[in-house]
Structure 1
Amino acid sequence: MATTKSAPAGRIGIDWAGLGWMLLFFWYFSGVTQTLIALSGVAGLQGLRQASMASALWLIPLLLFPARTRLLAGVIGTTLWLCSLSGFGYFLVYGQEFSQSVIFIMFESNVSEATEYLGHYFSWSIVFAAVAYGLGGWLLWRKVRPVYLPRQMTLVACLLLFGLSMGYEAVRQYIKRDDLQRAVDEFEENIEVASPWQLAVGYHQYRRQLGNMEDLLASQEQIPPLKNLVDAHVGQPSTLVLVIGESTNRQRLSLYGYSRPTTPNLDKLRGELQVFDNVVTPRPYTIEALQQVLTFADQEHPNLYLSTPSLVSMMKQAGYKTYWITNQQTMTKRNTMLTTFSKQADEQFYLNNNRDQNTTSQYDGDVLDPFAKVLADDAPRKFVVVHLLGTHMRYHYRYPEEFDHFTDRSGVPASVTDDQLPTYNSYDNAVLYNDYVVSSLIERFRATDPSGFLLYLADHGEAVFDAPDPKVLGRNEGAPTSPMYTVPFILWGSPKWQAQQQARNFTASLHRPYSSSHFIHTWADLAGLRFDEFDPSKSLVSAEFRERPLLIGNPQQPKSLIDFSLIKPKKPVDQDADLVQQEREAKDRTM
């Protein structure tokens, strides 16, 4: 049993070195990552300061129960290490700070999707770094020793530590803010740089946001309808189809000039299509992007989805029977927050109920049969949403074997390494299969001789070793590149529908800079709907269209918003001439 050493008469002996080792041990699990972030210039020293203060909290149980110091330190330290691995690993992969937005996406993803990302970014160097990181914590744990203080001093020290780590900041925000919820949000934002609060705060925010969306389902019927809605085609049969792609960067479509023939079927339909080539998504994540695409929310008014009708509600108000067909994984009907939108439709088709999203039997071609069933429905006016898995990571799971067409370096930029080549090729093969699915939807739709149109766009893009940064794979709002935001936007209109447009000419619209955050206005315009909330200057196809900055970033942090033009390449890099030039330059560098 440990005993307290006698202190010299007249003063109390304090083991400052022991306290220092305790603090260093707990600081380690947040401070290492924050130090790397600060040294790399990604962020300033504020995160390091906040992490250091928050780490002081864990000294309290060790001071209260000094006889169990090593045990408590081991349990707490192991928990902190495990919780901190996400932020540590994210920095190693992306060179960016693990933000609350990333946490939100992590919790919104199902286990299968998370496994995909882990598989894509797995490398033994990351494993080695994580082990070394854990070894460093273990070596510090061996230095931790009991620190005995008189009872009254222990209580005072614990109060001071609590105030330093949590109490002061909580009281400051409570006094500073107008309402309690805002104070809590600010307090959470200040402590989330430290482990385990990154995950705890992220989960709390996720649950709250999910709760908001669940409340939206219940309250959607209470939202007032659009004011003075007028339908130019009222009473006429009409079928309107919205196809939502996934993770598809238009720069990898031959329809948009990519050198490889990744969209042969759409290329053949080119004369029947309106191909808009300057559309970008506001955010590189599915939920956040579609929350704006499918509502009146946009980057400057991100919360309008809470108080205005959605696209589905708008079409129901116009007298359309509504359908939602999705191949996004649905372990349950509430697997993702997109279910909020799908549940508003009259009928839903949830196709992907596999335990594992990475199967060789769950392809987007599965949407074709339910789509044909919907087309055969005798409802005179139909609005159909088809949500694809598209070119979602992992790409080689997105297409059957017969679409494994791109297997060599033909047409591949010289910047793509041998290690990157299989992933680069599988993405192009996924685009090739996506072309088959989208063109098949158009052809099946056309075969019914409809009066209506089909519009295809992707929720966001994806960087797959593309210029301007050929090392990037995936999406990262903190380090945006153009492939993450450039999306295909393609319109097919039936002859009957085109006849209703009074010789409307889309030529002037094809190259307009446009954000899909204003999509609902374009859709309403194409559908012939007018209402008080409609803004023709936000419609891509309106004569009253007005150019606006293409804002990207997190709208909950307005200062982080930037104009897409600031990251957009000044000229294409995927044309044949550019590719040849890149290959020549690469050869010159190796000679």
Structure 2
Amino acid sequence: MQIPLLAPSTKHNLCSSLKTALRIVLFFLLLWFSFFQSPLLPLHHITQLRLLRSFVFLWGCLFLQESLTSRKLSLESLPLLLLLLWLVPYSYVFSWIPDYFQEDVGSYWIFPSLLYTTVWLLQQLLPQAGRLQLPLGVLCALPLWGEITSAMAYLFYFVHYGKPMDEIILMSIIATTPLEAYNYLTATFSQPLLLTILLLLAGSFLALVHSLAFPAAQKSLSVSSRKKQLAVLALVLYFTGSYTFSVFPLDRLTHLYQKGGPMRAFLELKKNLPRNTQKLQLLSQEQLISQKVPGTIILVIGESATRDAMSAFAPTSFDSTPWERTMKQNPNFFFYPNSYANFPNTIMAVTQALTSANQYNRVPLKKAVDLMSLAKKAGYTTYWLSTQEAGVVSDAGITVISQQADYRENFKGTDEVLLSALQEVPGGQNNFIVLHLTGSHFRYD
């Protein structure tokens, strides 16, 4: 019985693509050993498997590229450029993180080969789409452009702040309003530089659309070849879509909503607050503080303020807080020079400050009660007055807590507008008022 052998062309393609894959892997290994601050060995066992899988993926992708085209195998300029623009930023960041390769990061070396093949196949197929060539080019360019800009943003954040972007930072970005984003960008970058960045982003997107839909070397495909490439593209897109959720930013986004993630905790807080408050047992009506000392309590949340810049707390080059510094001598005022935020993130810090959940009592948010509900149960009419825009993340902890107030309003303008709002609060009742300030988020111009 004769055993069928591989066709000569198939065997040649396998060997040629294997050599190319080995050269690419060797190149990156030399780079890693030369520049990485993090030791490469010992590798996490899952990372070992995924690195091996990434090599198989790369080999398979290069083999498909050579098998589906009559041209000699070469690393196409656009697919290779996008691969490098995606891989280099993450590799640089990972190189500075101690023991990073002892964690499961193998997906970051599987994804590039899928990205390379996806772009190459799109360049082969989109020119055959007729009138849909440009619309499909725009549609396909959007996720690819998003992946590259996300990699650049990840690199910028690490270089600027000295730490990788995690899910908590991503949550802060999602919760940022358009006005806050504008203020941050104009405070971080000069206007000419910001305009240059925007032009580069727009130009890169248009260039990507043009390179995908109108590649320099267009070639008419036979119906048979087109069907094969469409089938391969569908398979590659399936794997690409799956691994997209294993790399930044979608991996961080999914972590937010996983069990134990902050957004899941906020959802549980919102769901359970009424029940938790109902279970809360207070003193008798006569013993409530609102009955013993009637009046108005005002809690001011001076967001983004640091006591190191306040003359009432620390030596400063000028008297930045003259009223507070004077009141520090008043025995009826209490200053806390050694208090600290319990989380390095606004949403989490304020949420834990205004609920019974914190790192000391280990009470999870789903079992917590909030200060607004507690004040209402203690006999106060509650108000939440803020100069911050309503958060775009409707289930974030601060939003959930503010929604428990009897009266809630967000004002436009500077923090001084809250003084007028305070005049509207009736004085002949027990009030608990939270003033949520914008504070010193940005430089004063």
TM-score normalized by the length of structure 1: 0.49
Residue 373 of structure 1: aligned partner: 424
Offset from partner CA, 1:212-256 (integer Å, 9 cap, x none): 756754653222535442246463243322111110110111111
CA 1:47 to 1:105, structure 2 compared with 1: closer, same or farther past 3 Å?
farther
Residue 306 of structure 2 corresponds to 249
1-structure distance, mates of 2:270, 2:158: 37
Shift of 1:131: 4.3
Q: Distance in 2 between matches of 1:50 and 1:249?
A: 40
Of 176, 187, 209 in structure 2, the residue corresponding to residue 109 of structure 1 is 176
Quick one: distance in 1 between partners of 2:230 and 2:111?
18
Specify the alignment match of 1:308 in structure 2. 368
Offset of 1:87 from its aligned partner?
Answer: 2.6
Match of 1:118 in 2: 185
Larger Rg: 2
The 1-side partners of 2:235 and 2:302 are apart by 54
- The answer to whether structure 1 residue 34 and structure 2 residue 84 are counterparts is no
Q: Aligned pair in 2 of structure 1 residues 9, 334: CA closer, same or farther (>3 Å)?
A: closer
- 1:155-174 to 2 correspondence within 5 Å? 161=236, 165=240
Residue aligned with 2:319, SS: coil
Deviations 1:457-477 (A, max 9, x none): xxxxxxxxxxxxxxxxxxxxx
RMSD, matched Cα: 4.6
Kept after mapping to 2: 8 A contact 1:292/1:302: no
Q: 2:411 aligns with which of 351, 354, 361?
A: 351
Supply the distance in 2 between the matched residues of 1:202 and 1:101 (Cα, whole angstroms): 10
* 1:396 partnered with 2:444: yes
Partner of 1:325: 385
Q: Decide whether aligned partners of structure 1 residues 235 and 228 sit closer, same or farther in structure 2, where only a CA change above 3 A counts.
A: same
Residue 57 in 1 paired to residue 114 in 2?
yes
Aligned-residue offset at 1:296: 1.4
Cα distance in 1 for partners of 2:308, 2:434 equals: 24
Identify which of structures 1 and 2 has the higher relative contact order when contacts are C-alpha pairs closer than 8 Å and 6+ apart: 1
Mapping of residues 5-16 of structure 1, within 5 Å: 11=11, 13=13, 15-16=65-66
Which residue is equivalent to 1:297? 357
SS in 1 for 2:408: strand
* Separation in 1, partners of 2:253, 2:290: 51
Q: 1:100 to 1:210 in 2, by over 3 A?
A: closer
SS in 1 for 2:342: coil
Asked if 2 retains the 8 angstrom alpha-carbon contact of 1:62 and 1:68, the reply is no
TM-score when normalising by structure 2: 0.63
CA distance in 2, matches of 1:73, 1:332: 31
Please say if 1:386 is aligned against 2:443.
no
Name the structure 2 match of 1:488. none
> How far apart are residue 40 of structure 1 and its match?
4.1
Q: Choose which of 268, 273, 280 in structure 2 pairs with 1:220.
A: 273
- Where 2:387 maps in the other structure, the secondary structure is strand
| Counterpart Cα distance in 1 of 2:361 and 2:118 | 44
Judged with a 3 Å threshold, the aligned counterparts in structure 2 of structure 1 residues 251 and 144 are, in CA distance, closer, same or farther, namely farther
Letter of the 1:97 partner, please give it: P
1:363 aligns with 2:414: yes
Aligned position for 1:180: none
What is the rounded CA distance, in whole Å, between the counterparts of 1:329 and 1:385 in structure 2? 15
Distance 2:75 2:371 in 1: 59
- In the other structure, the counterpart of 1:417 is none
Deviations 1:487-527 (A, max 9, x none): xxxxxxxxxxxxxxxxxxxxxxxxxxxxxxxxxxxxxxxxx
CA distance 1:24–1:235, shift in 2 (3 Å)? same
AA matched with 2:161: Y
Query: Partner of 1:97 in structure 2?
Result: 164
Structure 2, unmatched stretches of 5+, are 1-6, 14-62, 67-72
- Kindly indicate whether the alpha-carbon contact (under 8 Å) linking 1:85 and 1:130 is maintained by their aligned counterparts in 2: no
The residue type equivalent to 2:156 in the other structure is: G
Secondary structure at the aligned position of 1:191 is classed as coil
The residue identity in structure 1 corresponding to 2:353 is V
* Aligned 8 A contact 1:327 1:389 in 2: yes
Residue type at the aligned position of 2:314: G
AA partner of residue 357 (structure 2): A
1:333 to partner: Cα distance: 12
1:270 paired to 2:328: yes
Partner SS for 1:271: coil
Contact 2:266 2:395 survives alignment (8 Å) = no
Amino acid at match of 1:248: A
One-letter code aligned to 2:417 = D
After TM superposition, give the deviation of residue 258 of structure 1 in Å: 2.1
Q: Give the AA of the match of 1:338.
A: I
8 Å CA contact 1:315–1:322 kept in 2: the answer is yes
Measured after TM superposition, the shift of residue 37 of structure 1 is: 1.1
1:24/1:210 CA distance change after superposition, 3 Å: same
Contact 1:281 1:289 in 2 (8 A): yes
Distance 1:118 1:204, change over 3 A: farther
Q: String of CA shifts for 1:404-452, please: whole Å, max 9, x gaps.
A: xxxxxxxxxxxxxxxxxxxxxxxxxxxxxxxxxxxxxxxxxxxxxxxxx
Alpha-carbon separation, structure 1, partners of 2:415 and 2:10: 80
| C-alpha distance 200-232 of structure 1, shift in aligned 2 (>3 A) | closer
**Counterparts of 1:232-247 in structure 2 under 5 Å?**
233=289, 235-238=291-294, 239-247=296-304
Q: Residues 105 and 302 (structure 1 numbering): CA distance in 2 closer, same or farther, change over 3 Å? A: farther
- Indicate whether 1:68 and 2:126 are aligned: yes
Q: Is the 8 A contact 2:381 2:406 kept in 1?
A: yes
Structure 1: distance between partners of 2:86 and 2:92: 10
- Contact 1:242–1:385 (CA<8 Å) still a contact in 2? yes
Match of 2:48 in 1: none
- For residues 168-215 of structure 1, give each alpha carbon's deviation from its aligned partner in whole angstroms, at most 9, with x where no partner exists: x7xxxxxxxxxxxxxxxxx94x3225xxx479759988xx97787567
Spell out the pairing of 1:131-530 with structure 2 (5 A cutoff).
131=200, 134=204, 161=236, 165=240, 188=245, 190-192=246-248, 197=250, 213=266, 216-217=269-270, 219-225=272-278, 227-230=280-283, 231=287, 233=289, 235-238=291-294, 239-259=296-316, 260-272=318-330, 273-299=333-359, 304-330=364-390, 338-352=398-412, 362-374=413-425, 376-379=426-429, 381-393=430-442, 395-396=443-444
The structure with the greater share of residues assigned to strand is: 1
For residues 331 and 104 of structure 1, the distance between their equivalents in structure 2, rounded to whole angstroms, comes to: 11
Aligned residues: 354
Distance apart, 1:294 and its partner CA: 0.6
CA positional deviation for 1:107? 1.5
What amino acid is aligned across from residue 51 of structure 1 in structure 2? Y
